[in-house]
Structure formats: structure tokens, C-alpha cells
Amino acid sequence: MKITSIALLAISHLLSLAQAIWLDTNNVTTIQMDCALIAEGLLSYYEGSKYGGTIGEFTWPYYWWEAGGAWGSLIDYTYFFENDTYVPLIKEAMLYQVGKDNNYIPLNQSTTEGNDDQGFWGIAAMGAAERNFSNPDSDKISWLGLAQAVFNTMTARWDHADCNGGLRWQIFQWNSGYDYKNSVSNGCLFHLAARLARYTGNDSYVEWAERVWDWMYGVGLLTEGDSWFVYDGVKIDNNCSNITKFQWSYNQGFMLAGCAYLYNYTEEEKWYNYTHHLLNSARVFFRNMNGSEVMFEAACQDYNSCNDDQRSFKAYFSRFLGLTSVLVPDTQPTIYKWLVDSANGAAGSCTGGLDGHTCGLSWTNWTVGWDGYYGLGEQMSALEVMQNLMSWHRPPPYTAETGGSSQPHPASGYGTAPSNTPPLDLDAGDKAGAGILTAVIGISLVGCCVWLLL
Ligand SMILES: *[C@@H]1O[C@H](CO)[C@@H](O)[C@H](O)[C@H]1NC(C)=O
Ligand SMILES: *[C@@H]1O[C@H](CO)[C@@H](O)[C@H](O)[C@H]1NC(C)=O
Ligand SMILES: *[C@@H]1O[C@H](CO)[C@@H](O)[C@H](O)[C@H]1NC(C)=O
Ligand SMILES: *[C@@H]1O[C@H](CO)[C@@H](O)[C@H](O)[C@H]1NC(C)=O
Ligand SMILES: *[C@@H]1O[C@H](CO)[C@@H](O)[C@H](O)[C@H]1NC(C)=O
Ligand SMILES: *[C@@H]1O[C@H](CO)[C@@H](O)[C@H](O)[C@H]1NC(C)=O
Ligand SMILES: *[C@@H]1O[C@H](CO)[C@@H](O)[C@H](O)[C@H]1NC(C)=O
Ligand SMILES: *[C@@H]1O[C@H](CO)[C@@H](O)[C@H](O)[C@H]1NC(C)=O
Ligand SMILES: *[C@@H]1O[C@H](CO)[C@@H](O)[C@H](O)[C@H]1NC(C)=O
Ligand SMILES: *[C@@H]1O[C@H](CO)[C@@H](O)[C@H](O)[C@H]1NC(C)=O
Ligand SMILES: *[C@@H]1O[C@H](CO)[C@@H](O)[C@H](O)[C@H]1NC(C)=O
């Protein structure tokens, strides 16, 4: 979505003179004012408030999973700035998409939904519980119950048959990618289990987090030594021996913050050590700009090849860094510098579009400001990197003991068989369509990336 029209650029540059944002990372008022503008831009992609749009979904070409990412960002927005303006809108969206079994597998998505897609909505619900976000009415399932439902249905899909464990990327057999076990699906489960453990105090979730970690480590999706990297995934052929070694910032973030939650809850040294190892290796996602360390999506940004999905990864990575910094407090100095420098870079990129404060993809080119890219991912990433500067001004994520009011439903989500069996009687045409859709995603993922090696 690169704007190339010279005329449009000229107009937006004129407007930007009047309306560009200005950030002082020490001044909460400027952070709040900037984030309000950026959040407004984010919601311009929301479909639910447009004629004929579906509640909870964002406009084409943004997939359903990314909406789950965006609601997670906005839940934190309401919490960080103690601002209720968007609460009814977010709540309506989060509850409209729960699906008939309250587990975030709504019928409309069931032909294409993968474990990671479901995981993103589950993590948004977990965030709602931890931020004490306005509770659903008592006839509806709670935020915590939704997160538990996602956990329960994901663990039920744990696949012993191939490679001795792990989650496949896809939920449904007819989707391409069903033969792939990836870090984001397993990372979502690990991360969600860690957060459920800390929130509920139930050690069963710790056992699951350990199971996922050990499997990912055993198969080689996590590397150790000088570099603790998280690789993209692995095909099940040959007992999962051929790792696809792309590195994405959000995968590093899922594992990093998951370890931070586990350490905060269990106080076991190994999780402390893993947190620091993953944090040190997260340096590959920062570019040194005259002493400033600015976040970038290393596997695609330099090649101008980031797709719509990948352009939002810095959002979740920023969120997970913010959480890590409060849960393992001695990570704060490193993360503080990364977020401050990156927020400054992001603010510098938010000079585009007709509103004059549309955010760009690259935060590292300080001579151009806005780089011509725009979209839900760009907007969400800028919002998250800036709003996470508030992590240290607001209470840490709540638990059931410290102020969270969301009620547990430990057995939720099992309305239908939590297996790989299709819930719909699809005809051949529907199956083929879904297969092609994911195949195209698969090809663009592989086609546009390079290995990231130190
Ligand atoms: C923070 O920024 C606001 C808005 O620009 C300004 O009015 C205020 O004086 C600043 N506060 C401090 C302490 O600099
Ligand atoms: C609350 O959020 C809305 C929407 O982002 C924004 O317009 C408003 O200025 C915010 N109010 C305060 C006090 O931050
Ligand atoms: C499912 O799709 C239909 C048709 O587009 C729409 O009316 C409905 O609101 C959607 N439901 C959900 C939960 O997205
Ligand atoms: C703890 O979590 C496990 C796994 O979801 C669940 O089966 C069990 O019922 C939970 N225990 C309590 C006391 O909630
Ligand atoms: C297959 O891989 C799994 C996971 O790494 C491992 O536990 C198992 O021993 C391997 N099996 C064989 C036959 O190599
Ligand atoms: C490993 O995967 C790559 C990329 O998917 C493929 O090109 C290569 O042939 C595979 N190698 C083996 C030994 O299967
Ligand atoms: C954690 O790291 C410290 C320092 O490197 C080391 O001494 C300790 O054995 C490690 N603990 C575990 C459980 O790996
Ligand atoms: C870094 O500093 C050099 C020398 O002062 C300057 O020429 C260059 O433009 C600076 N680069 C950035 C990105 O600020
Ligand atoms: C857990 O997080 C809280 C909140 O930030 C912090 O005060 C506490 O020190 C952390 N616990 C450990 C063991 O680091
Ligand atoms: C910054 O953008 C300008 C204009 O597009 C380009 O010429 C320059 O190479 C870019 N610099 C970096 C470091 O990417
Ligand atoms: C959480 O929300 C409940 C219900 O709205 C409220 O009673 C409680 O005071 C809130 N807790 C905190 C810590 O704000």
C-alpha cells in the first residue's frame, strides 16, 4: 500500500506542517495526545462502524487475526490513559466475534482460521482480564473465560502424532499449512498459558507452558547459546528436521514475555535466565542510529517486502516488551531505551496522509519522516510503541488477587468436538477456495523473506 502519487504526497506534506505530531517521551500529556490521534487513525480501518460492515472486523485486506491484535492494542490504550471513550466499541467487537462456543472460532472464519488467529483473540481477552476491562454482562462469558476457552481448545489440538508434540499452524486439515508447526501458534499457547498461570494461580497452566517450551526447544524452533532466537516454524516431514529460519519480532516477543510472566509467577531462576537470554537476542530487531536504538522488522523491512500481516508485528513486540519490563523489573533499563528511541522514531514517521499524522512503516529514516507506507499495521505499531511508555505510570497487569475482577471458567470452550474435525459440512468448492487463500499467504510469506543471520 505504498502511495506513489506525487500530487497526494504534496498535499499531505502541506497538511503535515500544521498537524504533525510532536512527542516528548518524558511528558505524559504529549504521549496521550499523540496516541489519541494515532488511535483515531487506527479506527479509520474499522469496518464495524461503516455501512454494511461486520462488527469486530477491519476493512480489506486485513485478516480477522489482525483485528484480534488491534482490539488488544486498544484495550491497553483505554487502560494506559484511563480513557473510556472506546470501551463500548471494543467490548461490542470482542463479544460479537466469540463464536457459538465462546472460544473465538466463529463460523465465518472457520474455513481459514489457524491456531495463531485464534490465539491472537485469546490474548486480547487475556489482556482485558488483566486490565480489569469493563466486564461483559453476567449472561455472557467473562474475558478470563474466553482466554481459558482458547487455551482449552488449543491444548486439545496438541498433536502427538507428528514430531512428538506441538501445535500445527492450521486448525483444519484442508488448509495449506496444516503440515507446518510454527512458532507463532505454539508461542501463542505458551504465552497464554504463562499469563493464565499468573492470573489464576493454577499450576496446571505452568505445566502446559513448560510442555510447549520443551517441545519448541527440542525440535529446534528455539536456539540457545550466544543467540536465543525464535525461528518461524518447521514442516512435519522427516520428524520436523527442516527448520524455516525466518525471525519475526513478534515471535521473539511472545516467548520473551511468556518467560517474564512465568518468572514473575513461579520465581524460578530458569525463567529469569530465559527472559534475559531472549531479551539480549532481541537486539537484532533494533538498528543503531547514532546511539539511538530503533525497532525494525529485520526480515522484511530493508527489502520493502513486508506484507500486511508483517507490517503489524512491531505492535505486538512493543506490547510484549512493555509487559516484560514490569514483570522482570531489571529488564526495564534496556527496554526503556528501546521503547523511547523507537517511539521517537515512530513519531517522526507519523507525518503522512491527508490527516498529516498517518504513521509509516520505517522508523529509522529520520531524513524523510513518513516513508509512504500506511495501514492498520503501521498505525497499530506506532500506537503500541508510544503507549507502552505508559507501562511504568500505571499498575502492572492485575491478577485475580490484585484487582482483576474477571471470573474464571476453567472448563470453557468445549461446545463442540475440540478436534481437527471440520465443524461445517463444506462442499468441495469452499474447501478449494480456503486452500487457495492460505496457499497464497504461504507463498507470499516464503517469497518475500530472507534468513536473518547474525
Ligand atoms: C507537556 O506537554 C504539554 C502539551 O504540549 C504542555 O502543555 C505541558 O506544559 C508539558 N509539561 C511539561 C512538564 O513540560
Ligand atoms: C480519550 O480518547 C478519545 C479517543 O481517542 C480522545 O479523543 C480524547 O481526547 C481522550 N481524552 C483524554 C482526556 O485523553
Ligand atoms: C458473518 O458473516 C455475515 C455475512 O457477511 C455477517 O452478517 C455476520 O455479521 C458475520 N458474523 C460474524 C460473527 O462475523
Ligand atoms: C486449573 O487448570 C486446569 C487446566 O485448564 C483445569 O483443568 C483445572 O480445573 C483448573 N483448576 C482450578 C481449581 O480451577
Ligand atoms: C522426533 O522429534 C521429536 C521432537 O524433537 C523427538 O522427541 C523424537 O525423539 C524424534 N523421533 C525420532 C524417531 O527421531
Ligand atoms: C528444507 O526446506 C526448504 C525450504 O522450505 C527446501 O527448499 C529444502 O529442500 C528442504 N530441505 C530438505 C532436506 O527437505
Ligand atoms: C542462570 O544463570 C546463572 C548465571 O549465568 C547461572 O549461574 C545459573 O546456573 C542459571 N540457572 C539456571 C537454572 O539455568
Ligand atoms: C548521524 O550523525 C552524523 C554525524 O553527525 C550525521 O551526518 C548523520 O546525519 C546522523 N544520522 C542520523 C540518522 O541522524
Ligand atoms: C512481579 O511483578 C511485580 C509488578 O511489577 C514486581 O513488583 C515484582 O517484583 C515482580 N516479581 C519478581 C519475582 O520479579
Ligand atoms: C532515507 O530515505 C531517502 C529518501 O527516500 C533515501 O534516499 C535514503 O537512502 C534513506 N536512507 C536510509 C538510511 O534508509
Ligand atoms: C475492577 O473492576 C471492578 C468491576 O468494575 C471494580 O469493582 C474494581 O474496583 C476494579 N478493580 C480495580 C483494581 O480497579
Q: SS3 sequence, the chain? A: CECCCHHHHHHHHHHHHHHCCCCCCCCHHHHHHHHHHHHHHHHCCECCCCCCCCCCCECCCCCHHHHHHHHHHHHHHHHHCCCCCCHHHHHHHHHHCCCCCCCCCCHHHCCCCEHHHHHHHHHHHHHHHHCCCCCCCCCCCCHHHHHHHHHHHHHHCCCCCCCCCCCCCECCCCCCCCCEEEHHHHHHHHHHHHHHHHHHCCCHHHHHHHHHHHHHHHHCCECCCCCCCECCEEECHHHHCCEECCCCHHHHHHHHHHHHHHHHHHCCHHHHHHHHHHHHHHHHHEEEECCEEEECCCCCHHHCCCCCCHHHHHHHHHHHHHHHHHHCHHHHHHHHHHHHHHHHHHHHHCCECCCCCECCCCCCCCCCCCCCECCHHHHHHHHHHHHHHHHHCCCCCCCCCCCCCCCCCCCCCCCCCCCCCCCCCCCHHHHHHHHHHHHHHHHHHHHCCCCCCC
Which domains does the chain possess?
30-423 (1.50.10.20)
Of all protein residues, the one whose alpha carbon is nearest to atom 10 of ligand 8 is 290
Residues with CB under 6 Å of ligand 1 are 27, 29-30
Q: Looking at residue 225, what is its pLDDT?
A: 87
Q: Is 54 in the pocket of ligand 3 (CB under 6 A)?
A: yes
Q: Is 48 in the pocket of ligand 3 (CB under 6 A)?
A: no
Mutation pick for ligand 4 pocket among 202, 407, 409 (CB with most ligand atoms within 8 Å)? 202
Ligand minimally distant from the alpha carbon of residue 277: 7
Q: Looking at residue 415, what is its pLDDT?
A: 64
Q: Looking at residue 26, what is its pLDDT?
A: 94
pTM of the predicted model as reported, rounded to 2 decimal places: 0.91
Ligand minimally distant from the alpha carbon of residue 129: 11
Q: Looking at residue 407, what is its pLDDT?
A: 97
Which residues in the chain land under pLDDT 70? 1-20, 415-454
Rounded to the nearest whole angstrom, what is the distance from the C-alpha of residue 132 to the centroid of ligand 3? 28
Q: Is 241 in the pocket of ligand 6 (CB under 6 A)?
A: no
